[in-house]
Amino acid sequence: MVILFDQYNLPDDIYEIIFATKQQVIVAKLLIEHMFRAGKEIGKTEMSLFATKLHEGEIITTIDEPPYKGKKVKISYNKRQFYDRILTPMKSMGIIDYDLYKKTYSISEKFNKNMMRIGLMWLQALRKPPLKLE
């Protein structure tokens, strides 16, 4: 996953930095909210049920952005795209962990640690001698 951002126009919302579309932002927020309500960890079956509800348009939420501000809206998102564009990137970035033994998904702090590690890698790269041009 590649995160591209403009340092002069950083949005206030981390989801808007990570995801390309408003719909992806909304779905990712709904997933994290769902996981928080379940104690920050859900099973494989629960994740599948969440994805199925999204696919069938059974999830209703209030959106704080125009033109839906303050209104309850049914959210629909393709199940396969949910796994490909939301869950898999969140797992690969360390936002969500999957435990193979317990078969559970949990909210993780690895994303923060990885971002700090990337920053340190950049500082190390700055300290290396420059490449010689011939």
What distance in Å separates the CA atoms of residue 50 and residue 46, rounded to the nearest whole number? 6
Residue 118 located in a structural domain: no
pLDDT tens digits along 46-100: 999 999 999 999 999 988 777 778 888 999 999 999 999 999 999 999 999 999 9
**Is 23 domain-assigned?**
yes
Let me know: does 3 contact 18? Beta carbons within 8 Å.
yes
Q: Is residue 87 part of a domain?
A: yes
**Domain containing residue 28:** 14-108
Q: Please report, for the domain that includes residue 26, its CATH number.
A: 1.10.10
In one-letter notation, the amino acid at residue 53 is K
Task: Please report whether residue 128 resides in a domain.
Answer: no
The sheet that has 41-43: what strands, in order across it?
A: 41-43, 104-107, 96-99
Q: Is the dihedral of CA 91, 84, 117, 26 positive or negative?
A: negative
- Whether 27 is covered by a domain: the verdict is yes
Residue 21 resides in a domain: yes
Cα distance between residue 20 and residue 123, in whole Å: 28
Range with top average pLDDT, 1-10, 16-25, 40-49, 55-64: 40-49
Q: Count up the domains in the chain and report the number.
A: 1
User: Does residue 90 lie in a domain region?
Assistant: yes
Mean pLDDT over 12-25 rounds to 92
User: Mean pLDDT throughout 104-115?
Assistant: 96
Query: Is residue 103 in some structural domain?
Result: yes
Say whether pLDDT at 134 is over 80. Answer: no
Position 132 confidence tier, pLDDT thresholds 50, 70, 90: confident
Q: pTM to 2 decimals?
A: 0.87
Q: What is the CA radius of gyration of the chain?
A: 18
Q: How many CA atoms, within 13 angstroms, populate the side-chain half-sphere of residue 77?
A: 27
